[in-house]
């Protein structure tokens, strides 16, 4: 009786919902249970579910509609399947780039060997091995492990999986590299001569690179990497690209192409001008072995290479001296000063600097390209917006962490930052963050905004580069806000990076005393960055701490002998101190001539160093100038 009542209710519901046409799909079992037939789309997993039962018609209609759409698409595919079979071939024959290439991309050897010859670095390899040696019958191979132990080197990208798996890497002989040693007829004799040379010089980065070439020709990735590791360990920074290109080739040919790309980017940081570096990277990308999802797995929060400047490197370098500091006559001569310092530079307008996280070993460029899945040579999709840091992250005001205790950084003063204070020295530095194409600062800004919104990479690095963007654009209020956020996130050991860049803004703004305070803290964290000493020297000069300025300019050149701006500033301040400043000190007060702006008279001083100079003072601006007579 109960079963009969249930059946009546169900039939009434079906009739009310106009589902009578589906009733034939249901049967009543001997036990009085309503059950769907198994060979129909109306079969229910839970036939006792009344709600599911009531929705069966809707689901049946959806299935029917999907069937109709699939049949329609199949019909369209069948109609067009054989319509244009020659499209690909016609494209290869008519496209300009395809015609120039001569064949499709898959037909190229994208794993072809590349090498950065030592000759490109101004080195003659034959001068480092003894060509007069007559090899014996028992030729030795240059097993680099025999000449120096190297358990671990921060220089050698030990964190890469390919480096960890180097003992099991597969490789094939790179016979094309024989062209790189054309001064040798026999590869085996070449290897033996390297072995003999390493016996005498076990720390030669040149010999270790040559040994790596040997093992690449032999097709032995493990021994080649062991030589590359030592070459990277002993190479000076500006020569590391030789070993890096070898390492990238080994990893790429072993199908660790994603890691090979990281290594080539490190080589590009050393030498962007060499074609072989770009060609190697192009081959790596063309293999399409780096899926977008895998690129994002790269851990950008950790350094991928050694810092540019370390205490170990400082020990190896001789200290710089501009003449004898204890002998005044050894300072720049009058002739040199007259030639190179015809006008003493205004210490308020010297070159600025930008301290990059790359100096600490971090990868920055990739955060604005591969990490965002932007292929090389392509632009970021429009529209482009600037990386305004304030709405991206709210941080506390008045915090010592973000240096709000410095008067010029406090909210009360930073909102008064003048506009259009452009940092013209650093625009190229900003643009070079995307080295594979020529682009505008505005596109770099959008790439930074994308990275910040999607949290691609360490936030302290991204906010630091965003601060550089605003320095270049000329809106330094936003620059300070970005550097404050970089300070908020940065690890203590890298805090000097945003501090130096923040001090640059204060230097440009004319807040010199506040800049000095910040630079003292930056140098207390890390005193190995040459640009930090250079900026501090500028700040000390403009605040008339001449002795301190000289000291830090000399320190800059101690660390980086090729720092031309520091050399020019050092020579200028020494000329100023010896001739110009002493002339000003010796000149009587009445020498200021408000009615004679060209100052034709000669200073009447007995000192020989001041007789050829006249001190003039502009009564409107109050600026003193020195005329060389």
Residue 602 confidence class, pLDDT cut points 50, 70, 90: very low
The answer to whether residues 506 and 408 touch, using CB atoms and an 8 Å cutoff, is: yes
Question: If we measure between CA atoms, which residue out of 449, 298, 473, 461 comes closest to residue 381?
Answer: 449
What 3-state DSSP class applies to 453?
helix
If you average pLDDT over every residue of the chain, what do you get? 80
Q: Mean pLDDT over residues 40-49, rounded? A: 70
pLDDT tens figures, 297-345? 567 888 877 788 887 766 555 555 554 444 444 578 888 888 888 788 8
Which helix (H) or strand (E) element contains residue 614? strand 613-617
**Is the pTM higher than 0.85?**
no
Q: Mean pLDDT over residues 546-553, rounded? A: 95
pLDDT at residue number 330: 56
The answer to whether residues 219 and 251 touch, using CB atoms and an 8 Å cutoff, is: no
The answer to whether residues 355 and 500 touch, using CB atoms and an 8 Å cutoff, is: yes
Asked whether residue 615 carries a pLDDT value surpassing 60, the answer given is: no
Measured in residues, the chain has a length of 629
Whole-number Å distance between alpha carbons of 363 and 371: 11
pLDDT at residue number 41: 65
State the sign of the Cα–Cα–Cα–Cα dihedral 449, 455, 456, 457: positive
What is the token pair recorded at 571? 């020579």
More confident residue, 306 or 271: 271
Q: What percent of the chain has pLDDT over 90?
A: 37
pLDDT at residue number 435: 67
The answer to whether residues 230 and 208 touch, using CB atoms and an 8 Å cutoff, is: yes
pLDDT at residue number 484: 97
**Cα-based distances in Å from 591 to 387, 615, 626:** 53, 7, 12
Asked whether residue 505 carries a pLDDT value surpassing 90, the answer given is: yes
Residue 506 confidence class, pLDDT cut points 50, 70, 90: very high
Of 263-267, 312-316, 396-400, 408-412, which range is least confident?
A: 312-316
Of 79-93, 154-168, 242-256, 317-331, which range is least confident?
A: 317-331
Q: If you write DSSP's letter for every residue of 100-163 in order, what string do you get?
A: HH-S-GGGS-TT------GGGGT--GGGSS-TT----SSPPP--GGGT---S--GGGTTTSHHH
Whole-number Å distance between alpha carbons of 340 and 568: 9
| CA 301, chain centre distance (Å) | 13
What 3-state DSSP class applies to 615?
strand
What is the token pair recorded at 416? 């008064």
Asked whether residue 244 carries a pLDDT value surpassing 90, the answer given is: yes
Whole-number Å distance between alpha carbons of 523 and 534: 11
**Cα-based distances in Å from 586 to 77, 139, 337, 456, 624:** 95, 76, 19, 60, 14
Beta bridge partners of 614: 627
The answer to whether residues 300 and 366 touch, using CB atoms and an 8 Å cutoff, is: yes
Whole-number Å distance between alpha carbons of 217 and 172: 8
The answer to whether residues 512 and 537 touch, using CB atoms and an 8 Å cutoff, is: no
Query: Which domains can be identified in the chain, with CATH numbers?
Result: 2-79 (no CATH), 118-290 (1.25.40.10), 340-573 (1.25.40.10)
């Amino acid at each position: 009786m109960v079963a009969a009542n249930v059946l009546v209710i169900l039939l009434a519901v079906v009739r009310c919902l106009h589902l009578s046409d589906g009733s034939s799909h249901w049967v009543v079992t001997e036990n009085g249970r309503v059950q769907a037939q198994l060979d129909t789309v109306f079969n229910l997993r839970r036939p006792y579910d009344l709600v599911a039962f009531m929705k069966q018609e809707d689901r049946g209609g959806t299935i029917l509609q999907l069937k109709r759409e699939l049949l329609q698409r199949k019909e369209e595919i069948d109609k067009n399947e054989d319509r244009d079979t020659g499209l690909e071939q016609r494209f290869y024959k008519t496209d300009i780039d395809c015609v120039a290439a001569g064949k499709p991309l898959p037909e190229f050897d994208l794993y072809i060997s590349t090498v950065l010859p030592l000759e490109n670095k101004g080195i003659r390899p034959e001068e480092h091995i003894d060509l007069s040696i007559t090899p014996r019958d028992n030729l030795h191979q240059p097993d680099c492990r025999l000449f120096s132990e190297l358990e671990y080197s921060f220089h050698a990208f030990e964190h890469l999986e390919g480096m960890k798996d180097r003992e099991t890497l597969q490789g094939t002989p790179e016979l094309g590299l024989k062209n790189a040693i054309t001064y040798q007829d026999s590869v085996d004799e070449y290897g033996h001569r390297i072995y003999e040379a390493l016996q005498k010089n076990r720390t030669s980065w040149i010999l270790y690179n040559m040994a790596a070439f040997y093992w690449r020709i032999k097709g032995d990735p493990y021994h080649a990497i062991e030589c590359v590791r030592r070459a990277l360990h002993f190479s000076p920074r500006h020569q590391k690209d030789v070993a890096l290109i070898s390492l990238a080739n080994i990893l790429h040919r072993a199908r660790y192409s994603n890691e090979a790309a990281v290594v080539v980017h490190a080589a590009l940081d050393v030498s962007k001008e060499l074609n072989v570096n770009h060609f190697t990277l192009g081959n790596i990308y063309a293999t399409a072995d780096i899926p977008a999802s895998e690129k994002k797995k790269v851990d950008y929060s950790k350094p991928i290479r050694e810092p540019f400047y370390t205490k170990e490197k400082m020990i190896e370098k001789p200290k710089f001296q501009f003449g004898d500091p204890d002998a005044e006559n050894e300072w720049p001569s009058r002739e040199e000063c007259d030639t190179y310092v015809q006008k003493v530079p205004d210490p308020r307008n010297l070159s600025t600097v930008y301290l990059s996280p790359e100096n600490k070993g971090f990868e920055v460029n990739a955060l604005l390209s591969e990490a965002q899945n932007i292929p090389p040579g392509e632009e970021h999709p429009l529209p482009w917006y600037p990386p305004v840091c304030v709405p991206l992250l709210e941080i506390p005001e008045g915090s010592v962490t973000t240096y709000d205790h410095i008067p010029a950084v406090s909210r009360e003063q930073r909102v008064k930052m003048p506009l259009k204070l452009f940092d013209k020295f650093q625009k190229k530095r900003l643009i070079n963050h995307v080295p594979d194409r020529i682009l505008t600062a505005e596109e770099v800004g959008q790439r930074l905004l994308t990275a910040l919104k999607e949290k691609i990479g360490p936030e302290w690095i991204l906010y630091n580069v965003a601060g550089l963007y605003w320095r270049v654009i000329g809106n330094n209020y936003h620059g300070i806000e970005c550097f404050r956020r970089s300070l908020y996130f940065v690890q203590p050991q890298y805090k000097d990076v945003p501090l130096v860049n923040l001090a640059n803004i204060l230097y440009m703004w004319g807040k010199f005393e506040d800049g000095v305070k910040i630079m003292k803290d930056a140098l207390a964290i890390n005193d190995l960055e040459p640009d930090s000493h250079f900026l501090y020297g500028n700040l000390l000069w403009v605040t008339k701490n001449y002795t301190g300025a000289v000291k830090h300019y000399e320190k800059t050149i101690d660390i980086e002998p090729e720092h031309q701006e520091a050399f020019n500033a050092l020579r200028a301040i020494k000329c100023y101190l010896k001739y110009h400043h002493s002339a000003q000190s010796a000149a009587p007060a009445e020498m200021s001539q408000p009615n004679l702006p060209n100052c034709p008279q000669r200073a009447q001083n007995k000192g020989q160093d001041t007789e050829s100079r006249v001190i003039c003072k502009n009564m409107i601006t109050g600026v003193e100038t020195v005329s060389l007579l």
